[in-house]
Amino acid sequence: MYWDHGHEGGWGWGGWLLMSLMLLVVLALLALGAFLLWRSASQQASAAQPDQTPAARQTPQEILAERLARGEIDGDEYRERLNALRSGDS
């Protein structure tokens, strides 16, 4: 009774075409939404991390000067170690 394939009251091929196109549009929108969500999350993660560029390697003299500035060594020890670095002694 309800499976009558007659032409009365049915959508016909136009209805099937419209439904198929709407399904493709919905799937495309879902894929686009998932992509935008993934891109947003990856941009936030990269923004939260500090710059990953490697720092320039410090020379021994720069490290020694920083230790003096932080108060880890005094002026006499600084000069002694600096002279040792310049003369090549360890």
Residue-wise pLDDT tens digits, 34-59? 999 999 988 887 776 665 565 678 89
Co-location of 15 and 39 in the same domain:
yes
The whole-number pLDDT of residue 56 equals 79
- Domain with 14 in it: 9-48
**Which residues of the chain fall short of a pLDDT of 50?**
none
Is residue 53 situated within a structural domain? no
The whole-number pLDDT of residue 8 equals 59
Measure the CA–CA gap between 45 and 52, rounded to whole angstroms: 13
Is residue 16 situated within a structural domain? yes
The whole-number pLDDT of residue 68 equals 93
Give the global pTM. 0.43
Co-location of 36 and 65 in the same domain:
no
The whole-number pLDDT of residue 74 equals 92
Is residue 42 situated within a structural domain? yes
**Number of structural domains in the chain:** 2
The whole-number pLDDT of residue 28 equals 98
